[in-house]
Amino acid sequence: MTSINIGIKEQDRIAIAEGLKRLLADSYTLYLQTHNFHWNVTGKQFRELHVMFEEHYNEMALAVDEVAERIRTLGLAAPGTYKAFAELSAIKEVDGVPSSSEMVDILTQGHEQVVRTAREVLKIAQSADDESSASLVSDRMRVHEKTAWMLRALRENG
């Protein structure tokens, strides 16, 4: 591979990309979980949750591509297998089909985990003056914070 000279030290590029790999794994795991729940949700809030989950996984489908492409821009290979995501992700898969209220709780926790992972990566990117990665990660944090808030709001009275 040709050398990369974008004004970020190699060790910093690698550290940022490694953090982005964890963010990608968390995001993709949450995407898959959300898609699963979209297919399998039942109950009184079926329509609302079915549509909401679809909106969420569609947004994440585009986001994971941006994160993976940033990893590539920094010169590392992006993980792209379930095995790699399982090893890198702090979000664990759920067995079976939980109730709709459990789905909301599980997804809330997943979005909060993505925010925590993003926060860690943001610090690394900022310390390396990598504005491009910092901006991407900050944008992802904002989306996941808002989504977690909306999911928590669903559970306020039930």
Q: What are the tens digits of pLDDT across the range 58-112?
A: 999 999 999 999 999 999 999 999 999 999 999 999 999 999 999 999 999 999 9
* DSSP code, position 93: P
Which percentage of the chain shows pLDDT scores above 70? 98
CB 57 within 8 A of CB 35: yes
Q: For residue 44, report the phi and psi dihedrals to the nearest 5 degrees.
A: -60, -30
CB 145 within 8 A of CB 122: no
pLDDT at res. 64: 97
Residue 156, pLDDT above cutoff 90: no
Q: What are the tens digits of pLDDT across the range 1-44?
A: 578 888 899 999 999 999 999 999 999 999 999 999 999 999 99
Residue 78 CA to residue 11 CA, distance in Å, equals: 17
pLDDT at res. 1: 54
Residue 147, pLDDT above cutoff 80: yes
Residue 158, pLDDT above cutoff 70: no
Question: In angstroms, how far is the first alpha carbon of the chain from the final one?
Answer: 55
Q: What are the tens digits of pLDDT across the range 125-141?
A: 999 999 999 999 999 99
Q: Which residues make Cβ contacts (< 8 Å) with residue 48, sequence separation at least 6?
A: none
CB 139 within 8 A of CB 60: no
Q: Which helix (H) or strand (E) holds 143?
A: helix 131-154
State the average pLDDT over residues 132-157.
94
Q: Could you give the angle at which helices 100-127 and 10-40 cross, rounded to 10 degrees? A: 170
